[in-house]
Chains A and B, each alone.
Chain A
């Protein structure tokens, strides 16, 4: 008999801790000059340094440091005047040196916060997530497990390693414990990751593609009885790869913990893996002995001690905070809360803004991206960003519709053509021979023809029964192969049959 979420929150208070790993979008790796481009042939982006060949030494990518400081500043952190890299020692085949260069007790950014707003039963409410640290480290290689049924580690006969990803700069953003979110814990976590993603995107420091793993979230969850002071035992769910999964994973863990606690069992402190299909987590290896990472200062690198001038230059260059940016857009576009939320949810805000900047009316831009284009993306199971259509294309189409050169229906055909790779809107229009019939003479001829064919309907309209007009308009549209402006047809038709058209 499974517990419901309501049962859980009636009795327990969840405490969160979130660790987000972000791959920076530098051209070269953290400690060597190998390219970071995604999806290269295996082991084509490797060198003595990132393969940990004997004798190789790391060198620090300046842009990565700069990006990390920017992230720290955007998250309201203090930037440490002195920080160091450390070695985190443990053996794992996808980590060539068998230590990770990371930061330990001397991270570069500390003590920040992020405010997130979510919709609650009492209306919008803001939560402050405190950030403990932001530090630099490096990614691992990728293993392909061969021989197992599912490509998972368990049951594999052997593994194949590709080190292209090894050494890509990673920034780890660690929150302090987050109490006090109550039943909204899953939503707050999701909103936090979404806000982080928006901030990182606005900074231009990462591709923030959760589906490609450039933004990954580890969620720590524990429960305690409401009113209790001491923390419960936490579980850590690794690599949750979408915003929706963040929410699901936390909700699922809360229920799992509560079921254990209610039965008088203990929650095991362990790493768990989120399973997209079931929305449940599965136990990773419970560590028979606690890892001892034997951190010590990385002797091959020298300390990072950014001076105030550098930090202030970076601070001055920070973009507008996404939450403020959103408020500004909402005001400028005069969009109601609900529609703003819809845009944010569908992740179209930036693209709509770009379309508006390209000259489109905000309402029109929004409706195309949220409507037709989102529908196509859905059908194709891709994100709108991956579709072959730009904000400029959409702005051009919006302009053509406003000028009466396209009807909405024709505009949809043009969009479809652009996405299909037939070219820019003008090229699609030319190639497909799309044009609005706005020659009144031609329309009148069609109207007369249709009225002659359907005299009874025409008579009804003449007698004031306007709903009947639809059938005749449809017939005229058919007659003109859909290229007529339906509104103009209606106007002419009603005029022709002696009715006022409004």
Chain B
């Protein structure tokens, strides 16, 4: 049962062939069986999940009208605040913290009766592309336990790929939903900025962060997208407009006459050959489905990475200032006679990992007087240029596409000493965040040379998220016909303990 898609599980719940309690228990059992190897979860809320499942079953038994995903289990990225449940953002500095409030995403999940299994592992404060920066140890890619599951939301994507949950929540600041989806053979969507509330999402970079759905199919992602999206008065940057009709689009998958723009700059040198093979094959399938493939250019994308690594650290240096040992979280060095300042300094030394410190220092520098214009200011100009590139390209096409990442999953430890090499993972995903538009990654097959999943990225203009689902559903259907079974059925069996 755990190998079904969320929609299939939902159908069984509606048909009375199973219960939410049974479904939840099956996933809890799976977690118990494989998570010592995968390490997707930082906290499993056995009691809370079963209690929620019992409540949904009772509602269903009482004949209440329920949402499409009611009763389905979900894995929540630990960056999302959930009342009473340990929330760490992958950092030591928040170890043991139990929030006294729910994020809006969690409220929406609860309102839709989606059962929250627990909190998933991530790079500390979402800073990373491999989940190796978690203070609680790395997550392993279910396709090959020696490899990374992507990051920062490696826990969520690994949980999906390991069949520990059919649905998950991720957050995407520079690719943290899409890149993990790509390297684990799952689907991940970064909605338009402002489409999903950030209230209760522990901020990394406020102008880039966006929560979104992670799933194993495009339709499942769309269903979850609709459950969590919508205007939130608690988030001033939330868009006050109807949620794009993503479920309708995912069910249609009709791309006839759609123009699909291939980004010239996001293909070629630096992209693994198997990644390019799968990308080209996907383009052919989309063309066969009736789409028109055009080439578009985005000359300023080459500056995206540099702009991102100024903007995100700048905002994080300020966002993470609140972790100061005064009101919550870790406190180090509070001995007789110590000053508040020294306790702050020591706590932040011990509580933050290396990458977090690196970015805080970089951001502090980029914002400091005398350097602001050259770094932060210039980065914001690049942001304007990238948005203009997108706008021009979208005059010629309905969606833009590229490989999600230049390579398949690398080995754990392989790039951890080389920040620049690590940052290059996000080269194709970052422009989307800078422009605030939507991006999706779905599996396009396995790279012939290493047998690891490859991701296909679809980018749509702001508030036209449904276009990604149209194209994603079309490609998914074509690939399924070709493969005969979902890609994840090819993943090696995990050892069950």
Contacts and interface: CB of A to CB of B under 8 A. Distances in A.
Q: Determine direct contact between A and B, CB below 8 Å.
A: yes
A87 interface: yes
Given A59-B234, A302-B237, A52 B322 contact: yes
B87 A89 contact: no
Given A161-B326, A296-B314, A296-B372, A54 B202 contact: yes
B318 A55 contact: no
A60 B100 contact: no
Contact of A57 (B89, B97, B236, B372): B236
A47 B100 CA distance: 9
Interface stretch (B276-284, B361-369, B413-421): B361-369
Contacts of B318: 87, 89, 99, 294, 296
Contacts of A99: 318, 321
B322 A54 contact: yes
A56 to B, nearest CB: 7
A58 B318 CA distance: 14
Given A93-B324, A296-B367, A54 B206 contact: no
Q: Which of A91, A98, A296 has the most CB of B within 10 A?
A: A296
Given A55-B199, A59-B233, A300-B237, A48 B89 contact: no
- Dominant secondary structure of chain A at its interface with chain B: loop
B341 interface: yes
Interface string A284-300: 00000000101110011
Interface residues of B, number: 44
A91 B321 CA distance: 8
Interface string A51-69: 1111111111000000000
Interface in B327-376: 327-328, 340-341, 344, 364, 367-369, 372, 376
Contacts of B99: 48, 53-55
B250 interface: no
Contact of A89 (B89, B234, B367): B367
Nearest to B376: A296
A97 B321 CA distance: 6
A60 B233 CA distance: 10
A156 to B, nearest CB: 10
B364 A294 contact: yes
A159 interface: yes
A299 B207 contact: yes
A166 to B, nearest CB: 11
Contacts of B119: none
Interface string B28-66: 000000000000000000000000000000000000000
A280 interface: no
Contacts of B87: 54
Contact of A55 (B202, B314, B367): B202
Q: Which of B199, B203, B315, B327 has the most CB of A within 10 A?
A: B327
Interface string A136-161: 00000000000000000000000101
Contacts of A47: 101
A47 B101 CA distance: 9
B201 A55 contact: yes
A93 B326 contact: yes
Interface in B45-94: 80-81, 87, 89, 94
Interface in A75-99: 87, 89, 91, 93, 96-99
B344 A54 contact: no
Contacts of A267: none
B174 interface: no
B202 A58 contact: no
A434 interface: no
Nearest to A33: B234
B121 interface: no
A301 interface: yes
B130 to A, nearest CB: 23
Interface string A351-380: 000000000000000000000000000000
B147 interface: no
Interface in A21-56: 47-48, 51-56
Given A93-B326, A93-B340, A97-B322, 6 more contacts: A48-B99, A51-B327, A55-B99, A89-B321, A89-B367, A96-B327
Interface of B: 80-81, 87, 89, 94, 97, 99-101, 103, 198-203, 205-207, 233-237, 314-315, 317-318, 321-324, 326-328, 340-341, 344, 364, 367-369, 372, 376
Which 9 pairs of residues, A with B, have the shortest CB-CB distance?
A98-B321, A299-B206, A294-B367, A299-B207, A55-B200, A55-B81, A54-B202, A52-B322, A55-B202
20 contacts: A48-B99, A51-B327, A53-B81, A54-B81, A54-B94, A54-B97, A55-B199, A56-B200, A57-B199, A59-B234, A60-B236, A89-B317, A96-B322, A294-B317, A294-B372, A296-B376, A299-B205, A300-B203, A300-B206, A301-B236
Interface of A: 47-48, 51-60, 87, 89, 91, 93, 96-99, 159, 161, 292, 294-296, 299-302
